[in-house]
Structure 1
Amino acid sequence: MQTDLNKKIAYVGCLGVVGIISTEFGIIGVLPQIAAHYDINIGTAGYLLSAFALFIAVTGPFTVLFASRFDKKTIMLCALGLFFISNFFSMFSPPFWLLMILRILPTVLHPAFFSMAIAAAVKGTSQNDQMKLTSIIIGGIALAQVTLIPLTTFLASIYAWQITYAIQGFIILVTIFIIFKFIPSMPNEQPVSFKNQLSILVQPRFISGTLLNLLLITAWFCSYSYFADYLAKEKHMSEKEISLLLLLFGAMGVFSNYLAGKFLGKYMFWTTLIFILGVFIVPLAFAYTGDTFFIVALVTSFWGIMYGPCFLIGVGYMISAAPNAKEFANSLQTSFGNLGVSLGTAIGGFFITQYSISITPWVGVVFAFLAIITIIWRAYLDRLHDKKSL
């Protein structure tokens, strides 16, 4: 049963996710400006996104295993503190190599924040409530896309790209204050042994969920990483129009994330299949529509709806297969999700370099096809698991 504390932690976790995700993905809207500022190509600028994600993928599980022994409130505050430091010094547009280091700095505790926030929010609740509370926290991803990311992109088009870091840092600072003031200490009362947590790595249901998480996010980020560049060059949108489209994209993502949170607990397979099909439909829609703002806005809305729940789907599949190791499962979801971001960005960047930006919406189709095969495999494993439980 949900308590007021569960809800409070979920909403504060959501605010923290808004700050973290706007730091991670807010760069997408200003990537062309950063490339111009440092006189580098868009593919090189894209390393700011892919390197961030890659470091999370590599370090995430280890840092969460270590952090799981400590007070959850302390870990959440430390994680946000690193993000604030990163944003603060990035405001001053340091040399590109230093900007890259500042980007990588907070990745150390990025998965730990997600893991601790979700584990604290769902503690002592039913499975159905767990998905609802988790969707509130993960909803911060979509909320960032409807608030901070389009806002900072719009302001950057008027002033300069550095303003994105100032706004992101302010939101993170506010979240630090709220957690420090209003959230109680949350010590780890019954720490799960490393051996028990690591045991999920050999469970077929968990492996299938991990693979789905990786494939689905890779599929979407082959194109989403280059959102601004694609709309500017292929659909001839201005910087201000792109910021409005980012706002629309995020708004649709908030809506679809809410819907997915309602249905995933009951109809996981069919809900997931519907959202995966979006990877096939979006490139077709862009290919057979023109470059008028209204039409592009319609396609972008659909894109946002289909993309919105991709992280929540990954969380749902992985945590449901590891009920006794939620923190570790969350960290692996974040790590493999960010590996998907890194792979999608790198693969999309490769095809842009070899061909052109126009091909990026199509690149993810291969990964979406593999994701469909994976959910069919997982459905089979779930049936076997349910029979054994009877």
Structure 2
Amino acid sequence: MTKRIAYVGCLGVIGIISTEFGVIGILPQIAAHYHITIDKAGLLLSAFALVIALTGPFMTLVTSGYDRKKLMYSAIAVFLITGVVSAMAPPFWLLVLVRILPAFLQPVYISNAIAAAVSSGHKKQEHQLMGIVLGGIAISMVTTVPFATYIASIFTWKASFIVQTFISAMAFIAILKFMPPMPSQQKKSFGSQLKILRIPAFLISVAMNFFMISAWFSTYSYFADYLGKAKEMDPQMVSYMLFLFGLTGIVSNWVAGKMLGKSIPKTTAFFLTGTILIPIALFYSGANTWTTIAVIALWGFMYAPCFLNAAAYMISAAPGALEFANSLAVSFGNLGVTTGTFLSGLVIARQGIVFAPWVGMCFGILALLMILLRTQMEKRKLKPQLQH
């Protein structure tokens, strides 16, 4: 039963991530269809993420007294409706609007899916069960996101949204059929949850999460455009690269789950080094296709566990507030998606797509500094205790 709940939660995450990030592979086609620039098309990603960033923790607290199963299938139902409307190619303003609506419920779904999985198992299984649920991010990167991009390259970008709708429908059925009712034991008070915001180590962890996700999405948001213009790959080749990116990501998500059980700070720092290594590797790979493919494989490996690492790193500094800490991880992670996408878009508009990875490196260095700062703070706090 324990792992079944985690796997059902994982399927829902696949549906959610397919909707949020499925547009990454088709942004150039959407921009062409609506006769807009690539940075304006990026609004479909950044607006979605900004809503999550601004409303996530509040929505999670407001819904904390409700049955987790009901919250999860209600959230997925909204994602399902969004996919149907998006596939009809409505005017661009309406397309942005219908993508924003499910964003209000994304943190509610993810935080409740993690809490449901973790609460059904033993404490020692916590990171493993979190890894299964958040593994949906890596799985979607290797399955639905590249598949939707591939289908769009054969037919039209609207076909990508049909794929997303199908996945959401599967997740909705799975939650109804395989998940038991999970009524909340008690509605958590705002005060009991908000007290974690007074913990300095937690606030530093929030900043680390923000900088880390900003770093990765400075380039990943424009993955298709970058490979098309900087590396001269056609849309079909880009879909293969997304598949490779996700494939190595599945492996690294499993590896990260194991590593987190040994050391959360070291694991997070290890994968963060990719934000510095990848821009350098992309620059020196030049026009060599095989070298670029190798770099993309490494890129996917280093990127994939970022959400898992962020959640684990923040929760480790927030005892007794699992759902709220998770929602903040999702919220500030998506603020990072918005910031990375927006600032990189500005740089791309002024300097060109080849400069996007260097924006990510700057954010990556800031994230590593936050890890160093928290580690030093915790060492100073521990020193007097050891002396006594």
Same fold (TM over 0.5): yes
Within the candidate set 231, 249, 258, 1:235 is matched to 231
- Correspondences of 1:252-267 after superposition (within 5 Å): 252-267=248-263
What is the DSSP-based 3-state SS (H/G/I as helix, E as strand, rest coil) of the residue aligned with 2:128? Answer: helix
User: What letter is aligned with 1:243?
Assistant: S
4+ residue runs over 2 A deviation: 124-128, 290-293, 380-390
Q: Which residue of 2 aligns with 1:321?
A: 317
Please tell me whether residue 362 in structure 1 is matched to residue 369 in structure 2. no
Please tell me whether residue 353 in structure 1 is matched to residue 352 in structure 2. no
Q: Which residue of 1 aligns with 2:187?
A: 191
Q: Which residue of 2 aligns with 1:64?
A: 60
Quick one: distance in 2 between partners of 1:283 and 1:384? Answer: 34
The alpha-carbon deviation at position 384 of structure 1 amounts to 5.3
Quick one: distance in 2 between partners of 1:319 and 1:125? Answer: 17
Aligned length: 386
Q: Which residue of 1 aligns with 2:197?
A: 201
Q: Which residue of 2 aligns with 1:16?
A: 12
Quick one: distance in 1 between partners of 2:180 and 2:98? Answer: 30
**Percent identity over the alignment?**
49
Matched-pair contact (CA < 8 Å) for 2:24–2:223: yes
The alpha-carbon deviation at position 283 of structure 1 amounts to 1.2
Q: Which residue of 2 aligns with 1:115?
A: 111
The alpha-carbon deviation at position 125 of structure 1 amounts to 3.8
Quick one: distance in 1 between partners of 2:286 and 2:366? Answer: 30
Quick one: distance in 2 between partners of 1:74 and 1:281? Answer: 43
Q: Which residue of 2 aligns with 1:138?
A: 134
Deviations along 1:250-298, whole A, 9 cap, x unmatched? 1111111110110112122222222111111111111111324322110
Quick one: distance in 2 between partners of 1:240 and 1:171? Answer: 22
Instruction: Label 1:127 to 1:366 Cα distance change in 2 as closer, same or farther (>3 A).
Output: farther
Matched-pair contact (CA < 8 Å) for 1:192–1:325: no
Quick one: distance in 1 between partners of 2:305 and 2:378? Answer: 21
Within the candidate set 151, 166, 171, 1:170 is matched to 166
Matched-pair contact (CA < 8 Å) for 2:68–2:183: yes
The alpha-carbon deviation at position 376 of structure 1 amounts to 1.1
The alpha-carbon deviation at position 387 of structure 1 amounts to 6.5
Please tell me whether residue 160 in structure 1 is matched to residue 148 in structure 2. no
Instruction: Label 1:290 to 1:123 Cα distance change in 2 as closer, same or farther (>3 A).
Output: same
Quick one: distance in 1 between partners of 2:303 and 2:244? Answer: 13
Quick one: distance in 1 between partners of 2:145 and 2:120? Answer: 34
Instruction: Label 1:358 to 1:200 Cα distance change in 2 as closer, same or farther (>3 A).
Output: same
Matched-pair contact (CA < 8 Å) for 2:148–2:163: yes
Residue segments in structure 2 that go unaligned for 5+ positions in a row:
none
Q: Which residue of 1 aligns with 2:369?
A: 373
Query: Normalising to structure 1: TM-score of the pair?
Result: 0.96
User: What letter is aligned with 2:316?
Assistant: S
Please tell me whether residue 51 in structure 1 is matched to residue 51 in structure 2. no
Deviations along 1:126-179, whole A, 9 cap, x unmatched? 443111100111111010000000001011000001111111111111111111
The alpha-carbon deviation at position 382 of structure 1 amounts to 3.6
Q: Which residue of 2 aligns with 1:76?
A: 72
Deviations along 1:313-369, whole A, 9 cap, x unmatched? 110011112231111111111100000000000011000011100100111111111
Matched-pair contact (CA < 8 Å) for 2:79–2:102: yes
